[in-house]
Amino acid sequence: DMVTALENRWFRIIKDIASNKKKLVIMKASKSPKESKILEKGIFGRLLDVVTGKKKTSETVLVNNLKGLQLMQSETYSQLLDYYVQKSEAEYRKTCLGKIESLFGKIAGIVCFYKIILSAKCLIFGDLADSGGVINCLLYTSDAADEGLGVDLGG
């Protein structure tokens, strides 16, 4: 099942994050204050390390792994939430009310498609009188705006 796989992945990532945080705390606690000050370099010190090609410390690697795991955790969590939403929507569509809403949605889509075809036919063949009032209404509104009759087209 998809949910079980995502949940298992999420829990494994959480366990890995906890393990890495524990290692990081132990690593920081075991250092002397002098070593801590040496490792806390600014941007210039880090840039110098990159230019000179110094190897990353195990603490830096652990911090980078932790950041990656946290990103994976948030991504997996959002995938899990999306799956739950899709699952609940699918279950709702199976209910009587969901089927009725789906039917009304299909009918509205067909009516909209019919109106589009009718309006396109009227525009192509120049038969504005049979356009169902939509084009006439738009033309009237445009003329009224041009003559200053207080119609605001929002433009």
- Report pLDDT digits (tens) over 49-79: 666 656 566 777 788 888 888 888 888 888 8
Q: Which residues contact 41 (CB under 8 A, 6 or more apart)?
A: 49
pLDDT band for position 110 (cuts 50, 70, 90): very high
pLDDT band for position 144 (cuts 50, 70, 90): very low
The segment with the largest mean pLDDT, out of 19-28, 49-58, 92-101, is 92-101
CB distance 116 to 110 below 8 Å: no
Closest CA relative to residue 118, chosen from 140, 141, 134, 107:
134
Distance between CA atoms of residues 155 and 145, nearest Å: 11
Select the more confidently predicted residue: 56 or 117.
117
Of 23-37, 39-53, 133-147, where does mean pLDDT reach its minimum? 133-147
> pTM for this one?
0.47
* Mean pLDDT to the nearest integer, 113-139: 68
Of 26-30, 49-53, 81-85, where does mean pLDDT reach its minimum? 49-53
Amino acid type, 110: I
pLDDT band for position 128 (cuts 50, 70, 90): low
Cβ count within 10 A of residue 28: 12
pLDDT band for position 146 (cuts 50, 70, 90): low
Is pLDDT of 104 > 70? yes
